[in-house]
Amino acid sequence: MTGELVPVIGLEVHAQLLTQSKMFCGCSAAYANAAPNTHCCDLCSGMPGALPVINQRAVEMTLMTALALHCEVAQISKFDRKNYSYPDLPKGYQISQYEQPIGVQGWLDLGDEMLSTRCGIIRVHLEEDTGKTSHVSLDGSDVSLVDYNRCGIPLMEIVGAPDLKSPEAARDFFSTLRQILMYLGVCDGNLQEGSMRADLNVSLRKADREPGVKVEVKNLNSFRSVQRALEYEIERQREAVSAGHPLVQETRGWSEARDATIAQRTKEYADDYRYFPEPDLPLITFSADRVAEIRQSLPEMPAEKRSRLRREYGITAEAAHVLTADLALSDFFEAAALAASPATGMEVANWSHGDLLRLLHESQSEIASLPFSAADFGRLIALVSGARISNAAGKQVLEAMFETGEGPETIVERLNLSQMDDNEALTEIVKTVISENPGVVTDYRRGKAAALNVLLGKTIKASGGRANPSVVRSILENELGLPGPPSESPAG
C-alpha cells in the first residue's frame, strides 16, 4: 500500500531576454540563423583577461519581471561565479546570481479570476546563456562541435515554489509565465527556438509527510512536453514507491521520441558549483525611486487585460481568454472594436477568434504581417452587423482582404456583394422560387413551418447570396400566408 501519494511540482524557467547585445559584451544578441561562431568576441569565447560589463537593459528587464511577479526587489544585488566544466561555456564558469538575486518571494496567479490558484515565486535572477554543442559524424569520425553564438545571451531564471500539484497546473504555470514575459516585452516566448525552457522538479509526498526523493527533468521547451514529462515521471515514481524500489535524486532528460524521461546524471548540489562573488563586476544597486519608476511603467498584464476587456466590451470570459492569449491579437481586437460601431464587442470578438484566427492559421501568418488594418477589419464587421452585407458575404470579403489588402467597402463594391433589400426585386425572385418548388410550398401550407427556411435558403442562393434574410422572410410570409394546421400525413 502506498496510501495517498500527492505530486509536488516546481518549475524553473529560463528565458532569453530581448536585449540587442549580450549580457557582458557588445556582441549582437540576434544570433538566430547566423553562421556558427560569428557573434563572438574575446569575452564571450572565454579569452583570459577579457573584462565583462553589465548590460543595463537586461538588469532593467529582470527588475520589471520581478515586479510583475510581485517579488521583493533587492536593494543590492550581485553576480557570482558558478563553476561549470562543460565545453559550451569556454570560461569554465558561468556568471550567475546566487546569494543576492534581483527579486525574491513573489507569486503568480494561475487560472481565471473566478477560480485561481497562487504559486509562489522563490526568486528571479540574471545569468548568461551557454553555447551550443552538437555531436556529429564528420569524415567518418564522431566529433563534437561547439557554437558560441548563444554564449553570453542574457538569461533570466525564474524559480517557482513547489506549489503545483498536477501536470496541468505545471503546464498552466509555464504558459501563464510566458504570456507575462511577452506582455512585458522582455522575451519573445519562442519555445521552438529555445527562447524559454523549463526545468521541472517533481517528487511524491504522502499526506502529512515531507516530500520524497526529488527528481529534476531538464530542458523542456513545449507546453505538451512539460505536461507529458510530468505525467510520465509521476507514474514512474509511483510504481517505484509501490514496488518498494528506492528512487535516486537525479537529473533526467525528456525524450520526445521515446515519450519517456531518461536518467542523465546524479543531481548537482550548490556545493558542487563552488559559487563565489564575481570579482570583475560591481554590485548592482536599486534606489527606491528607480524601483517605483519601473513599477509605474509596467504595462497592463494579461489578467488585468482580461477583466478590462470583459468590462469595457461586454465579452465573455472565454472570449477574453482566447483574445488575450496573444498580445497582438488583443490589441488588434480593441482597435477593431473601436471602428466596428454599432457592432457589439462580442461580434468583434467572434470574428477575431473565429474567422480571423482561422485565416491566420491557414496562411501561417501573424497579426503583424496582415495586409489590412484593425480599422478595416472593424468596418467589415460593422457592414455585416448593419445588414449591409450578409454574414456569408462578410467571410468572403475577409478572405479577399487577406489576399489584396483592400478595404472592405472596395471589395463589397468590386464583388457586388451589398445586400439586396429592394422589395420589388426580391419579390420577383421569391415568386420564381415559389413557382419552381411546389412540393416545398405544399409542405409549408400543410403546416410544416420549417419548409419556409428551405424556400428562404433557395431565395438567398438565387440572389447570389446578397438577399437580406429578414426582408426575404417577410416577403415569403406575405406571398404564402400563414402555415395551415399541422399535417396528419407523414411529410414528403
Site for Zn ion, rule CB under 5 A = 25, 27, 41, 43-44
CB nearer Zn ion, residue 90 or residue 465: 90
- Nearest by Cα to 125 from 105, 108, 151, 110: 105
**Minimum CB–partner distance for residue 43 and Zn ion (Å):** 5
Tell which residue, 316, 408, 400, has the closest CA to residue 359.
400
Nearer to Zn ion, 42 or 300 (CB): 42
Min dist CB 58 to Zn ion, Å, is: 14
Cα(180)–Cα(177) distance, integer angstroms? 5
Q: Which is nearer to Zn ion, 129 or 199 (CB)?
A: 129
**CB 156 → Zn ion: shortest distance, Å?**
19
Q: Rank residues 27 and 393 by Cβ distance to Zn ion and give the closer one.
A: 27
Furthest CA-CA distance within the chain: 99
Instruction: Judge if the upstream peptide bond of residue 279 is cis by omega within 30 degrees of 0.
Output: no
Which segments of 340-488 does DSSP mark as H helices, in order? 345-351, 357-362, 374-385, 391-404, 408-414, 423-436, 438-445, 451-462, 469-480
Q: Considering the complex, what minimum distance in angstroms separates the CB of residue 129 from Zn ion?
A: 12
User: Nearest approach, Cβ of 24 to Zn ion (angstroms)?
Assistant: 8
Q: Which is nearer to Zn ion, 46 or 106 (CB)?
A: 46
CA distance linking residue 37 with residue 40, whole number of Å: 6
Residue placing its CB nearer to Zn ion in the complex, 81 or 353? 81
Q: Do residues 345 and 314 lie in contact, with contact meaning Cβ atoms separated by under 8 Å?
A: yes
Shortest reach from residue 82's CB to Zn ion, in Å: 19
Instruction: Answer for the pair 100, 125: CB distance below 8 angstroms, yes or no.
Output: no
Residue placing its CB nearer to Zn ion in the complex, 9 or 25: 25
For residue 107, count CB atoms less than 10 angstroms from its CB and return exposed for 0-12, middle for 13-18, buried for 19 or more. middle
To Zn ion, the closest distance from the beta carbon of 32 in angstroms equals 16
Q: What are the angstrom distances between the C-alpha of 154 and each of 26, 98, 183, 452?
A: 12, 16, 18, 66
Residue 31 CA to residue 52 CA, distance in Å, equals 19
C-alpha cell recorded at residue 14: 529560463
